[in-house]
A and B are shown apart, each in its own frame.
Chain A
């Protein structure tokens, strides 16, 4: 057990023990522990095996970036145990090891190590080509790293999303970031402060008493400031155009991860610095860790990282680590000071460091190597804002160069300083950030109709006169020998990079892709600068001229669940849908609408319409109210026929085409009054038609007097169809004469149905029967529906669903736009010659329509019946030329007709076989060919219309 006695600033709660299992064995930790700290406190050295060579890996950074700490937690793979807080009763296990973490057969890979150097994929798996799909892929998948997704059990993780609009977003909750947040908030800006670790404070958290005291003061100030919202355990993952910033919030009370989409006035980047590893032989052996890791383990979680240490230090932070190690009772075997030219050459040991070889030739026994070799500036967010950081050789790190006006940087990323100078820089940065953001907010308030008028002038711009932070000198410590790992996530060695350079991949971007260095889970945070340094050395170029790879979003890996977030799938329900479901209707999702497909027997429902009367909920039918003096002019433009002569109370059918002349929608429109019309559209086309009408009005004829209002959901539509439909309605409609003389086919009236006023009654139909369509104010729709059923009891009234309606309309030969037409279908194909008025001055698609009537090769929509009446071809079945495979068309709709007791179809066919009595061949999905005959006209049933025109 390596748990230390209570440390002054530890963050574990020793009064709450948490039990968990690691590779099947029981362990305990404390509340506040990470998974890794709890395991380390229990003496665990090896947490994972490396990707390629399956080398044992332990703690290196003890935070989110640690490449050796990915574990499986319950059903969640690839959990970063260096930052994930320990939870009770979790099952934690190592990933991609067999048979066990301790004895992993994957280590055999090292025997073939020289064959799997950089680029081996490209060289090895080229030939024979046949093997790629059938052998290589299958074998390689077995070696894929990472955890397992349990497909058989649903995920218990939940994800969420949130939008925020802070004036200032500060990325990084260290001293500079906290100071920036406080000063920005004090200037009146709303501030979102985002910290990747579980607590604010940055490096102060594991600092000395004075640093801790300073940190607590800043935190207290933040907590008392209402303008600041703090997100800890959260990462700013991307900065996009116009300061759209994505934040991944982890461990929220209601969700495992939450994607926060922030529209930010000013972004302040204050991420501090990331400690980078040092390249030497054996630099990945468990027991080699960075100074920050050792300090965190000791000070935050009271874990003793080893017994006897060699410390390699190039900076004051490394020196501080020595003090912490001594405080924790770790024996300091050797201090290797890089500033004096001293180096570590190698670490030796199998599963834990046993000895260390120094540059003076000595070998020192130790189980711990603590490395403080320097810093990487995490400039990702600045790169995303267009910056190209420059390398400063004296400071041995990169610095920002040029930032846009709405992005500022502060803290370690721009220079060095003591607590006071860092905080002063942060504070100045916060003031400037607030000034720019509040100016933008003022602009937004004055330009947004619903915002509060600020009634004060915009703030004067404050010029950026911040004192620059100094760039302290630091030795360039990247490697001591040409051995060791550069990228621990991808198992890329120094020698791999040299080989890549020798093979011609001598630019950093090419080398990255060839070797996969910087492409692993750490995404370059630990290895980018080292990789660039090795490349520079390999090709004899100064590091400053090498550049870095481009850092793109996300800054840290994001789960797909978090990206998906809260899933919105809007569904629409008519006012009658509850009734349908209560009465056994099978739900059908048609676009966004939930509809009743059938109530148990669609054929019986269809027959009842033919013999008695049926009612169907057709609310999804698009309905658009048009008001104004110029409605008929608009209709003339968007429909192919004429509308000016339509009198009040009459209805006309219309077809719309696009600018390409292709049929886009159809429906009937009735004139209710001089200036008031009601248009119907297809269910799926309602939104598009509305847009089309508005588009025409706003962009082409904006002086026309037309007001357009979609009213689809407000008017519940009920189709009453069947020979008894008039008798049924006569029982419920009191103020409209329903006789055929007063109310003939294609008429519309406004009236009262079952005591509900303001209903629209249409004499139209889609089933071939005498029928009416009622548009009822939706709040009263259920009353009307139930009244119809009650009043129609003795008339055989029953509901029918969408499937019965499809059967009935196919029997009658009515085509459906989108079903029997497609993205190429023009008016002549479906026989609409009389509905296209080419002599109009203008209308949408006029030239293309005119052209289509000169094209004698367009397909023709025809009614088709198979010679064997029991064979129902599948919709979309191909129509072939006899026994050949020449395609001459396709079946667009097909059903077994309960009325005719035979199969019926509509089909689009080549003009040569479109004449009545033409014999055609249909290829079924089974491969069988069946013969069929083309009918005259589209109707299979009652072609003369004797049943509907009564």
Chain B
């Protein structure tokens, strides 16, 4: 199966600004695994990540406390099977769903990333309210999304949504990014 190309819902890898450092990037190829504690279990201590937080593991997996009792694992590599095998060691205490194909994932990176998002999302993106590592859900451009702030050298937000909304959400983000210099080709114009 490795020879079969994985197709994401977004036709470009990334869009950049011309003079200011801002990038919108498709990361839908990431492995995405959803883990939920079954009834009566408490897993937050076990994973070391509470609801609202995220932690980058040494293997490159970002563990996000997406909702109470629910965690999403993101990894840039195609490691779904091995990751699921690892998580299956928790046995009946958890429910595991592979969302790699089910969610589009993209990032907005740059110091104006928060300003870009506040055009289309009614969340307080100040550092105090959304610090590095914050994991939360919100409506972005009228699409239900999971967001994680996972700064690199600059501010970086990961956004994931149901796959079928992926292209639309990418266009919405691109449109909002125009104000901050993002160059958007006509085929990705929202209007």
A residues at B contact (CB < 8 Å): 160-165, 190, 253-254, 261, 263, 441, 444-445, 448-452, 454, 566, 568-575, 578, 593, 619, 625, 627-628, 675, 703-707, 709-715, 755-758, 777-783
> Which of A164, A261, A441, A715 lies in contact with B101, CB distance below 8 A?
A715
Chain A residue nearest to B54 (CB atoms) is A450
Question: Do the beta carbons of B120 and A451 come within 8 Å of each other?
Answer: no
Q: List 28 contacting pairs A-B, 8 Å CB cutoff, sorted by A.
A: A163-B123, A448-B129, A450-B52, A450-B129, A450-B130, A450-B131, A450-B134, A450-B136, A451-B128, A568-B120, A568-B172, A570-B165, A572-B168, A573-B9, A574-B164, A575-B9, A575-B163, A627-B97, A703-B39, A707-B95, A711-B97, A713-B165, A714-B99, A714-B102, A756-B1, A778-B7, A778-B163, A780-B4
A717–chain B nearest beta-carbon distance, Å: 12
List B contacts of A571 (CB < 8 A). 168
Q: Tell me the residues in window 127-144 of chain B with beta carbons closer than 8 Å to chain A beta carbons.
A: 127-131, 134-136, 141-143
* A904 → B minimal CB distance (Å): 32
Judge whether B119 and A161 touch: CB under 8 Å. Answer: yes
Q: Tell me, in angstroms, the Cα distance from A573 to B171 when the chains sit together.
A: 13
B7, B11, B102, B127 interface centre (most CB from chain A within 10 Å): B102
Is the CB–CB distance between A165 and B129 below 8 Å? yes
Are A452 and B122 also in contact (CB < 8 A) when A714-B99, A756-B4, A777-B101 are? no
Looking at the assembled complex, report how far the CB atom of B126 sits from the nearest CB atom of chain A, in whole angstroms.
7
Beta-carbon contact of A162 and B119 below 8 Å: yes
User: Any chain A CB within 8 A of the CB of B103?
Assistant: yes
Complex contact A570–B167 (CB within 8 A): no
Choose from A709, A777, A778 the contact partner of B34 (Cβ within 8 Å): A709
Residue B15, interface by CB 8 Å = no
Measured CB to CB, the closest approach of chain B to A248, in angstroms, equals 16
Q: Lowest 5 A-B CB distances belong to which pairs?
A: A714-B102, A449-B52, A450-B52, A165-B124, A713-B163
The DSSP consensus for interface residues of chain B is: loop
| Chain A residue at minimal CB-CB distance from B11 | A578
Q: A713-B164, A777-B101 are in contact. Are A628 and B39 (CB under 8 A)?
A: yes
Known: A254-B179, A454-B128, A709-B99. 5 other contacts (CB 8 A): A254-B178, A452-B128, A704-B39, A707-B38, A778-B163
* Residues of the A chain whose Cβ atoms lie less than 8 Å from the Cβ of B126: 165, 190
Indicate if the CB atoms of B52 and A705 lie closer than 8 Å: no
Task: Name the distance in Å between B108's Cβ and chain A's nearest Cβ.
Answer: 15
Question: What residues of A have a CB within 8 angstroms of the CB of B5 in the complex?
Answer: 783
CA distance A449 to B9 in the complex (A): 31
B131 touches A449 (CB 8 A): no
Residue of B nearest to A630 (CB): B39
State whether the Cβ of B36 lies closer than 8 Å to any Cβ in chain A: yes
User: Residue B50 at the A interface, CB < 8 A?
Assistant: yes
Return the chain B residue nearest A627 by Cβ.
B95
The interface residues of chain B lying within 8 Å CB-to-CB of A713 are 102, 162-165
Closest Cβ of chain B to A687, distance in Å, is 10
With a cutoff of 8 Å between Cβ atoms, the chain B residues found around residue A441 in the complex are 128
Give the interface residue-count category, chain B: 35 or more
CB distance from B85 to the nearest CB of A (A): 14
Cβ-defined contact, A755 with B1, below 8 A: yes
How far, in angstroms, from A452 to B134 measured CA to CA in the complex?
8
Of all chain B residues, which has the CB nearest A167? B126
A445 touches B118 (CB 8 A): no
Q: Are B6 and A163 in contact (CB under 8 A)?
A: no
Query: Which residue of chain B has the shortest Cβ distance to A190 in the bound complex?
Result: B126
Residues of A within 8 A of B61 (CB): none
B53 touches A450 (CB 8 A): yes
Q: What are the residues of chain A within 8 A of B7 when measuring CB–CB?
A: 575, 778-782
Whether the Cβ atoms of A757 and B1 lie closer than 8 Å is: yes
Residues of B within 8 A of A190 (CB): 126
Q: Which of B127, B142, B163, B178 contacts A714 (CB 8 A)?
A: B163
Of the residues B29, B119, B168, contact of A566 by C-beta under 8 Å = B119
A593 to B164, CA, bound (A): 8
* Chain A residue at smallest Cβ distance from B69: A707
Contacts of A254 in B (CB 8 A): 178-179
B163 to nearest A CB, angstroms? 4
Fill in one digit per residue for B1-37: 1 if any A CB lies within 8 Å of its CB, else 0.
1001111110100000000000000000100001010
- Chain B residues contacting A593 (CB-CB under 8 Å) are 164
Return chain B residues, CB-CB under 8 Å to A445: 128-129
Q: Closest residue of chain A to B175, judged by CB?
A: A566
Q: How far is the CB of B158 from chain A (nearest CB, A)?
A: 13
Return the contact of B118 from the options A162, A451, A704 (Cβ within 8 A). Answer: A162
B105 shortest CB reach to chain A, Å = 12
Task: Please give, as numbers and ranges, the residues of chain A lying within 8 Å of B107 by CB-CB distance.
Answer: none
Assess whether B121 is interfacial by the CB under 8 Å rule. yes
**Smallest CB separation, A434 vs chain B (Å):** 14
Determine the chain A residues whose CB is within 8 A of the CB of B119 once the complex forms: 160-163, 566
- Name the A residues within 8 Å of B95 (CB-CB): 627-628, 707, 709
Q: Which residue of B lies closest to A783 (CB)?
A: B4
Q: Which residues of B contact A779 (CB under 8 A)?
A: 6-8, 29, 100-101
Find chain B residues with CB under 8 A from A572 CB. Answer: 162, 164-165, 168
Q: Which residues of A contact B50 (CB under 8 A)?
A: 449
* A163/B122 in contact, CB under 8 A: yes
A757–B120 CA distance with the chains assembled, in angstroms: 38
A221 to B149, CA, bound (A): 33
Interchain CA distance A680-B100 in the complex, whole Å = 20
A883–chain B nearest beta-carbon distance, Å? 51
In the assembled complex, the Cα of A143 lies from the Cα of B4 at a distance in Å of 69
Given contacts A593-B164, A627-B95, A714 and B101 within 8 Å (CB-CB): yes
Within 177-191 of B, Cβ neighbours of A (below 8 Å) are at 178-179
